[in-house]
Structure 1
Amino acid sequence: MVSGLINANPTVYEKKERRIRDHPSDPTDEYAVEPIDDLEIFDHIRDIKDPEHPYSLEELKVLTEESVELDDKRGHVRVTFTPTVEHCSMATVIGLCLRVKLMRSLPSRYKVDIRVAPGTHATEAAVNKQLNDKERVAAALENPNLVDMVDECLAPSYA
């Protein structure tokens, strides 16, 4: 991970138990589609690793179940995350990890907004603008070092 930690001793919280998803009404219908809900989206992002620590975003309470808002009819998802410190230099990396994970997990019909929780980061407006600007996100994903960092945060953990 990163040396020179911004928050050397973060508070670590216990993970919530995963919920069991219901199956489609007809388990023999391979084309049955179960609606997506906010908890399913949370399940996709809860295990993303923090760029500085060996903990998940859920364990650091950067994300909670309440972090995800879904308007399925409009195809809109909003994820609001809370950095562990207000001057977190990794906030844009965390937001980029969230965006990439959701781009890889959700059908393309969803528009995703990633936000820093209001009042939780010193440069909240700048971080929000960067995370929701298609050109800036595309440029970030052309940087091999940044893509490596994102991929490391998204890699499954077997601990």
Structure 2
Amino acid sequence: MVVGLLNANPIVYKKKERRARNVPTVIDEYAVEPIDEQEIFDYIRDIKDPEHPYSLEELKVVTEDSIEANDKQSYVRVTFTPTIEHCSMATLIGLCLRVKLMRSLPSRYKVDIRVAPGRHATEAEVNKQLNDKERVAAALENPNLLELVDSCLESTYA
């Protein structure tokens, strides 16, 4: 048992089998497959939880159902569910989600990261931090925090 964790023994779920994506049969520089919920989920499912050796998918912090994507409006919303109401890592998890999507999606996308309603004690504060460009930029200027984010994202680049 790990000492000092608020949720030392989280419930771990089985990962979903990866589904094949539709690949256009004609390659054209202007033909681009629209980005959908499955693609967003594939980008973020393997992000490692900061406190545990499990992915956000295995802890059901993120699910395919918690993602909204609108390619025509260049909009993505990910609603994540911390494992406990007082999760001290909620802001870091949200930052990892945001950074992974910033690095994976074209720059035209607006990304909205949210804690599931009623699932965290400081939900409004976490949501405000995660969706404030200046706060996110300041967080990413901190080398220690950036190193932690990168370690959580490491498995998503395989």
Name the TM-score class by shorter chain: over 0.9
Cα pair 2:77 2:114 within 8 Å, conserved: yes
Query: Which of the two has greater helix per residue?
Result: 2
* Moved >6 Å (runs of 4+): none
1:32 deviates by 3.5
| Structure-2 residue corresponding to 1:21 | 21
Q: What's the secondary structure of 2:79's corresponding residue?
A: strand
Cα pair 2:59 2:83 within 8 Å, conserved: yes
Q: What's the secondary structure of 2:135's corresponding residue?
A: helix
Letter in 2 for 1:119: G
1:26 deviates by 1.1
Q: Tell whether 2:48 aligns with 1:9.
A: no
Separation in 1, partners of 2:156, 2:77: 25
Separation in 2, partners of 1:111, 1:10: 32
Q: Tell whether 2:36 aligns with 1:32.
A: no
1:157 deviates by 6.9
1:3 deviates by 6.5
- TM-score, normalized by length of structure 1? 0.93
Cα pair 2:43 2:156 within 8 Å, conserved: no
Separation in 1, partners of 2:35, 2:3: 38
| Structure-1 residue corresponding to 2:147 | 148
Q: What's the RMSD between the two structures over aligned residues?
A: 1.7
Separation in 2, partners of 1:61, 1:98: 14
- TM-score, normalized by length of structure 2? 0.94
